[in-house]
Structure 1
């Protein structure tokens, strides 16, 4: 199978590219940074996996319009190229934040999406455009909403927590037994490969997560075990 991947140089892109190649797929990297990317748009492909986008900026220094230009407008352009091509499958990697920027319950495909940040809104508006376009009978569209992805080489928030724990800094919030979903890069790779090869899979929104939710306390204990340290957990009162 010939698979186009945008954002192939990122954490997910690098891992997914290698995995699909091991499964005897031909992977074609498409950079959307080049304004003339349409002139080199590969037409002899079976699927597009759109990973490229502007990630959530935790420092809040990005302009709101950047999110809409990259996550919404560029996605719409790419999707229109897909519609006008012979390519059969389109995977849009959105985000769990397109459904809810703050999660207080279990999310499903039926959850009403109410994002409030520019990042979440831009992802949601791209989803709406994709899912509202008339789709030829021979094409399929999959909107993927992954939660926090973990694995070797990840430089996100989970990596920051790893660095804090490795320094031996105590965790003072043991009294708060919160749980959240994570997604291993290995499970992500497996799921995408299965979807690529499952002919009767319906178009729609798919939430990706590992089977079990993990509390921050459990996560810190696991990281400490991995680095050979004793977990320093402080049970401060919630009051």
Structure 2
């Protein structure tokens, strides 16, 4: 099998994907900002920045597929004067530049890791499906959606097979972001005012996402399709915290504060987005992924939480 190029190979998903591909006997090339963050068994190239001027020719030579993980992600303390322009520079223009060079180099398939944010920020009774009309809610999601649209055009023009995957929150050992913060709070035994939330959210274990990506690299039916992914089980924030606590051996200390009070307090503190992620629903329907690819999540939610707990570093 010709090499697979993985961009963002030093990241949370990239490291796990490279390790999985190597375990399956695949030749892997990884790019990242630093060589030391990428597995030693992966052929590595340093790419300091990604935009419309990045040169990929050397790392693309002989590759059969590209998995594009590298991106400008959500920035907590946004310093850019024009955030959307910065997201577009990396996530849209940088992606399209890579895809065009991949097509010119004879790459067969381009797997683009997008975001469920392309569908929207919140669901109400009806989960998001792969064929739903897009409604990106943030500069990050807008940049990902614009990349998706142009990737489809490149596919039509060049014959490059494009596969788009839109994951929700990804969790696992050493998970960054809100999930990692929740694990730290549980480990410290901090009482959390999250004991009365009745939302429903989809998540995806790191191993489940990696397994789908690997499937999409080679599966004939994946070509030029968009897939949603999850563990196949939705939970409320309250139930998630209880099950996280069980997995960690640190029973969750949850206070039953009404959701309305939480949202009002968050608004006063300028934390509306955080309140929406904790209290709102975001469900995805993976029926298309199951049926078209014959794919099912290898890990259950509880198995994924247990693995995340085993790899937790306080």
TM-score by structure 2 length? 0.71
2:30 counterpart residue number: 29
Partner of 2:108: 88
Deviation sequence 1:85-111 (CA, Å, 0-9, x none): 211110011111122134444111111
Q: Distance in 2 between matches of 1:167 and 1:215?
A: 22
Deviates more, 1:48-57 or 1:195-204: 195-204
How far 1:165 sits from its partner (Å)?
A: 1.7
- CA positional deviation for 1:117: 1.5
**Counterpart for residue 10 of structure 1:** 11
Q: Does 1:176 align with 2:194?
A: no
Would you say how many aligned residue pairs link Structure 1 and Structure 2? 239
Give the CA deviation at 1:168.
1.5
Paired residues of 1:101 and 1:120 also in contact (CA < 8 A): no
Instruction: Please give the residue correspondences for 1:32-111 in structure 2 after superposition, counting only pairs within 5 Å.
Output: 32-33=47-48, 37-62=55-80, 63-64=82-83, 65-104=85-124, 105-111=126-132
Q: Which ranges of 4 or more aligned residues in structure 1 deviate by more than 6 Å?
A: none
Q: Deviations over 1:127-173 (max 9, x none)?
A: 11001235378642101101110111211210011111222222223
Q: Which deviates the most, 113-122 or 48-57? A: 113-122
CA RMSD of aligned residues (A): 2.0
CA distance in 2, matches of 1:30, 1:230: 40
**Distance in structure 2 (CA, Å) of the matches to 1:168 and 1:190:** 33
Answer 1 or 2: which has greater strand percent: 1
Structure 1 position 218, deviation (Å): 1.5
TM-score where L is the length of structure 1 = 0.91
**In the alignment, is the contact (CA less than 8 A) between 2:186 and 2:245 conserved in 1?**
yes
C-alpha distance in 2 between matches for 1:199 and 1:116: 32
Higher mean displacement: 43-52 or 173-182 = 173-182
Deviation at 1:39, TM superposition (A): 4.4
Query: What are structure 1's unaligned runs of at least 5 residues?
Result: none
Contact 1:131 1:204 in 2 (8 A): no
Please state if 1:211 is matched with 2:232.
Answer: yes
Structure 2 residue runs of 5 or longer lacking an equivalent are 33-46, 261-314
